[in-house]
Amino acid sequence: MTGDALELYIHIPFCVRKCAYCDFLSFPAEETVRRAYTEALEKEITALAERYGGRKTVSIFFGGGTPTVLPASDLVRILTLIKEYYQVEEDAEVSLECNPGTVKTEDFRLLKEAGFNRLSIGCQSTREEELLLLGRIHGHADFLKAFEGARQAGFDNISVDLMFALPGQSREAFRESLRKTAALSPEHISAYSLILEEGTPFYERRNELVVPSEEEEAGMYEDCAAVLGEYGFHRYEISNYAKEGFECRHNTGYWTGVPYLGLGLGSSSFAEGLRYENTRDLREYISLAGEPDRLRRNVRAVGRAEAMGEFMILGLRLVRGVSEAEFTERFGESPDAVFGPALDKYVKTGFMKRENGRISLTEKGFPVSNYILADFV
């Protein structure tokens, strides 16, 4: 496997408290638990190095939860361990998600010196009442302080997360968040619409929350491209916008089929033609981390039909779409031979287009992409 590209995802499941909308595998924990988890994660990293350490690690992403709940020194130690045991490319993208309420300027300096070169800062909104509604632990001033601290520490690749279609949110309020964030000139902005996920506080209150209509939500989505375009951002994926050359390489790897290894509690992997997840049981993870094969759950081979569907679904998330030639080369059949009726339907109705050997969504298709992509499962 030496020389094959590989991405690493490192899951840090801890947070100060759960946000009202969050259904990710995350939870508050005492320092003793966080310490035990960190030690277990290091065991898993070293145990899997014999199998994967020879592959070219092209990107590393620390996600959560809130990775910056851990001390910066712990994050540095984990990254240093990875670099010791894995063949991390010199220009690898090394991303870290952070919450403005959990990180200081001196932390950013330590992280930058250790090799983290991309930050994803959770802003979500520039309006205090919306942050309070979402259950965020920070105000907008905290975000601004974190953003400036990251710049002072030398980070020149910063992504900011925003949310829209929030309860009670107007289009003008969201445009204000877009403009204030874009005016800071980050390199990347991710903008996601709120989904009321089962098991979250928002879901329990779904009958009392007044959320924007489908038409209003679609308008907010259109505002993302229009407003951010004024500030030099281009949409390269359904919910992601970047300055030229700052598209997230790690996530683009997911969408284009680069194998990835998930490390940590509940993390997902796609490697050697298999998909699987680590156990979601914290005690089990801590006790078995040195024997990673025993952590695996839901192991399954990716069959031909599933692989073809994934190629289309993931590729169509990107503005550039999918290459018909690449599909044919990989599967020995053309997209029309496999998905002809769906392609014909969406091209005729203007939701998809075919240009220069590529199939992609149109401006009309992006806002309803979830419905379109379901036809390629």
Whichever domain contains 325, its CATH number is 1.10.10.920
237-285 pLDDT, tens digit per residue, is 999 999 999 999 999 999 999 999 999 999 999 999 899 999 999 999 9
Task: Identify whether residues 135 and 23 lie together within a single domain.
Answer: yes
Q: Tell whether pTM > 0.85.
A: yes
Q: Which of 255, 285, 318 is the last residue of a domain?
A: 255
* Domain-located, residue 267: no
Is 310 in a helix, a strand, or coil?
A: helix
Task: Identify whether residues 251 and 311 lie together within a single domain.
Answer: no
**Helix spans in the chain (H):** 31-52, 72-85, 105-114, 128-134, 140-152, 171-182, 201-204, 214-230, 249-255, 282-288, 304-317, 324-331, 335-348, 369-373
Domain ranges, residue 332: 304-376
Count of CB atoms within 10 A of residue 62's CB? Answer: 26
Contact by Cβ (8 Å): 246, 188: yes
- Find the range with the poorest average confidence among 20-24, 121-125, 247-251, 340-344: 20-24
* Domain-located, residue 196: yes
140-165 pLDDT, tens digit per residue, is 999 999 999 999 999 999 999 999 99
Phi, psi of 242 (to 5 degrees): -145, 155
* Domain-located, residue 287: no
58-113 pLDDT, tens digit per residue, is 999 999 999 999 999 999 999 999 999 999 999 999 999 999 989 989 999 999 99
27-48 pLDDT, tens digit per residue, is 999 999 999 999 999 999 999 9
345-360 pLDDT, tens digit per residue, is 999 999 999 999 999 9
Region 333-338: mean pLDDT is: 97
Region 162-170: mean pLDDT is: 96
Task: Identify whether residues 245 and 97 lie together within a single domain.
Answer: yes
Quick one: pLDDT at residue 101?
87
* Domain-located, residue 272: no
* Domain-located, residue 289: no
Q: Which of 190, 224, 255 is the last residue of a domain?
A: 255
d(CA 278, CA 333): 34
Strand ranges across the sheet with 322-323? 322-323, 358-361, 352-355
Number of domains forming the structure of the chain: 2
Quick one: pLDDT at residue 4?
87
Average pLDDT of the chain is 95
Region 299-315: mean pLDDT is: 95
Quick one: pLDDT at residue 377?
85
Task: Identify whether residues 234 and 353 lie together within a single domain.
Answer: no
Instruction: Tell how far CA 72 is from the center of its chain.
Output: 21
| Token pair 């598209």: residue | 247
Task: Identify whether residues 207 and 110 lie together within a single domain.
Answer: yes
* Domain-located, residue 80: yes
* Domain-located, residue 292: no
pLDDT category at 182 given cuts 50, 70, 90 is very high
* Domain-located, residue 28: yes
Quick one: pLDDT at residue 224?
97
Quick one: pLDDT at residue 321?
97
Say yes or no to pLDDT of 1 above 60: no
Q: Which residues contact 98 (CB under 8 A, 6 or more apart)?
A: 66, 67, 68, 119, 120, 121, 122, 146
pLDDT category at 3 given cuts 50, 70, 90 is very low
Region 127-139: mean pLDDT is: 95
Say yes or no to pLDDT of 2 above 50: no
User: CATH number of the domain that 75 lies in?
Assistant: 3.20.20.70
